[in-house]
Structure 1
Amino acid sequence: MCSAGPLSAAHRALVLQLADVEAIKFGSFTLKSGIQSPLYIDLRVTVSYPQLLSLIASTLLASLPQSVTYEALCGVPYTALPFATAMSLDTKVPMLMRRKEVKAYGTKKSIEGAIKPGGVVLVVEDLVTSGGSVMETVQPLRDAGCVVTDVAVLLDRQQGAVERLASDGVAVHAALGVCQVLDVLVEEARVDPAVAADVRAFLAANQAAPVTKTYTARAAGVKNSVGARLLRLMDTKRTNLSVAADVTTAAELLRLAAAVGPHIAVLKTHADTVSDWTDDTATALRLLADEHDFLLFEDRKFADIGNTVVAQAGGGLHKIVNWADIINAHAVPGPGILSGLRVAVESAGRSVGVLVLAQMSSAGNLATALPGYTPAAVAMAVTEPDLVFGFIAMEGGLGGEACVSMTPGVKMGGGGDALGQQYATPDRVVGTAGSDVIIVGRGIYKADDPAAAAKEYREAGWAAYERRCRGDQL
């Protein structure tokens, strides 16, 4: 919260010098998350002012309790590196450096310097909001055998980082809080009180999100075995990508599955678009799924009465429940459709999970347009948790943490097509909307190199998931 205590004369002088070099700005600024902020703090500019850097170093050192001891310093790249360097020169304490980009050649180390296993390292950071960037340095240090329990921070935005980092065993020692900065600047007539009030209101309304559970942690609460397996698989394989294999021949389907298999958690099929589908196609798909450890999702979108879907799911040309791990259904027919799918699944004698279509990505779809549709679909689904493990939806959180959300219409850059498809980026789907699985079609299967495209989407989706787990969305 935006609480503030009095500052010493030295701290007040530091605040004014930061304002003088425009490290603190007021106006309207777009943050990395897309949020509009009335405050922007850019401490990178301090590298051009040696006396200010020296003052920052001494202030950071003075802000540490006497009980904090350390054998090395490590600045969070990049802005805090000069701070840590100045502190190292002042105290003669050795310094370590974390690589932000680990090289694929040479030593391939993420931490550079004379690492002492079991040595206590003080992390140095310029600014904390949620604490996510601090943990990106703390964890590699801990992985290298170092002990990290404290971080020296120049400025705390007071949006929840202290509490978040405490949960990871890291104590924050901040030289300045943003509310203290506001107090000084208002008292010195550098900022209008109304502007300061807007900033305080923004900080209160934009506290860092709490740490969310990992996929694996959520799996324990999922009653459907396929849903639980999917959550564990995603963490183990480090991918939340589903590729929509919207191709028209068995050869294309199997070729695509083999190419993207190492990068995906789920392959989504439309068996009825494959002109030469046979039982051998299903057998070959299952072999590839087992080889590369992914689930098969037949996107049949069942939408009939229970008696009809029994035959559609278990019989006909495709015999879907005999090979698919996941199937899905519209909620329009009512709960009878789930009863029919349960009969088909039990007759097959193998584990299958069901997703209910709660929302869609096409422009003007009635699932989104009709206010009562999504709540009704969710209410219907959660009554059968041993069969239904989640939703096709444009957001996460539907049905609670035991339900998985899979979102179609994902594409780098967003946009749409001429037939009403509306695209969203992986970061928006997983990071902002809180969905669990990104479903990508044309961005991968129409790429010149589907495997390379799948790898790119896999990395983007996973990075968004890791940021969400840290609550690092501001």
Structure 2
Amino acid sequence: MVADNGQHQTSLQHRFTQFLLQSEALKFGDFTLKSGRQSPYFINAGAFDDGAKIALLGEFYATVIEGLISEGTFPKDVETVFGPAYKGIPLAVSTAIALTSAHHMPIGYTFDRKEKKDHGDGGSFVGTPLRDGMKVIMVDDVMTAGTAVRESIPKLKAEADVEVVGLVLAVDRMEQSKGSEASAVQTIEREFSFPVRSIVNVRQIFQAAAEMQHGDGSALLSVDIQQAAEEYLARYGSHTV
């Protein structure tokens, strides 16, 4: 069991980090990533594998989206939440439910099919139909290279002349893109001219986890793990603004 020391109990970043740990979606250790990098932490969105977890995850996304709309980063007249198949499907659905039921912001959800359906209702998308001029928010779990965005935008545009107004991630790893000092998030923002935000970034995760304890009162993060994280981010983390 993970316990917070109480100092930041109401912090969104602390609550989300605790949720990641308790869901076992976030683990510390030594992991080989798809990129080949050796990382001291690993994030597995597949761990959100039951109704309670995915409902709470949707609430975290909805809280962030409501805040971004309130501050003017996202427009108020967004009509649907889009999640790229497959991992983005439960994210879009749970976020739309949370925005509608808990935040009183009626909104649709949309996701794409991997293969276009040529029978029944047909088409490449499921959920709220896309229309010209519709404003869309994208949701995804973790961005590594921005591949899902680059594949999704042309599909959306081929369906209708929608406006993607922003993307919300669960975690920003804040790592450099291959061959660049900029992160994948920064690269996507510049390429598509919409804001990319996250519920939490990796530096916030480590800051929050460093202040947490196991149920027996021992520190959650060992000195070795904290040092490995600092070294990893010093080597691979993005240092551009």
Structure-to-structure mapping, 1:395-474, within 5 angstroms = none
Q: Is the 8 A contact 1:125 1:154 kept in 2?
A: yes
C-alpha displacement at 1:93, in angstroms?
A: 1.0
Aligned equivalents of 1:104 and 1:122: distance in 2? 24
Find 2:166's aligned residue among 146, 150, 157. 150
Summarize deviations over 1:59-106 as a string: whole Å, max 9, x none: 22222312213111111222232121111122231111112x224744
Q: Is the 8 A contact 2:31 2:40 kept in 1?
A: yes
- The gaps in structure 2 that reach 5 residues or longer are 1-7, 101-105, 176-182, 213-218
Q: Is the 8 A contact 2:168 2:198 kept in 1?
A: yes
Alpha-carbon distance change, 203 to 142 in structure 1, aligned in 2, over 3 angstroms? farther
Match of 2:149 in 1: 134
Match of 1:196 in 2: 226
AA in 1 matched with 2:204: Q
AA in 2 matched with 1:43: A
C-alpha displacement at 1:22, in angstroms?
A: 1.2
AA in 2 matched with 1:93: I
Find 1:162's aligned residue among 146, 168, 185. 185
Aligned equivalents of 1:78 and 1:104: distance in 2? 16
Structure-to-structure mapping, 1:168-247, within 5 angstroms = 168-188=192-212, 189-207=219-237
Match of 1:121 in 2: 136
Alpha-carbon distance change, 197 to 135 in structure 1, aligned in 2, over 3 angstroms? farther
Q: Is the 8 A contact 2:171 2:202 kept in 1?
A: yes
C-alpha displacement at 1:108, in angstroms?
A: 7.1
Q: Is the 8 A contact 1:123 1:138 kept in 2?
A: no
Q: Secondary structure at the match of 1:73?
A: strand
TM-score, structure 2 normalization: 0.74
Structure-to-structure mapping, 1:12-91, within 5 angstroms = 12-48=14-50, 50-64=51-65, 65=68, 66=70, 67=72, 68-69=74-75, 70-90=78-98, 91=100
AA in 2 matched with 1:33: S
Alpha-carbon distance change, 46 to 104 in structure 1, aligned in 2, over 3 angstroms? closer
TM-score, structure 1 normalization: 0.39
Aligned equivalents of 1:176 and 1:8: distance in 2? 14
Aligned length: 202
Aligned equivalents of 1:198 and 1:108: distance in 2? 50
Find 1:110's aligned residue among 113, 121, 124. 124
Higher helix share: 1
**Aligned residues: percent identity?**
24
Summarize deviations over 1:326-353 as a string: whole Å, max 9, x none: xxxxxxxxxxxxxxxxxxxxxxxxxxxx
Structure-to-structure mapping, 1:239-258, within 5 angstroms = none
Aligned equivalents of 1:51 and 1:163: distance in 2? 32
Q: Secondary structure at the match of 2:42?
A: strand
Match of 1:367 in 2: none
Q: Whose RCO is larger (CA < 8 A, sep 6+)?
A: 2
Higher strand share: 2
Match of 2:180 in 1: none
AA in 1 matched with 2:223: P
Summarize deviations over 1:321-378 as a string: whole Å, max 9, x none: xxxxxxxxxxxxxxxxxxxxxxxxxxxxxxxxxxxxxxxxxxxxxxxxxxxxxxxxxx
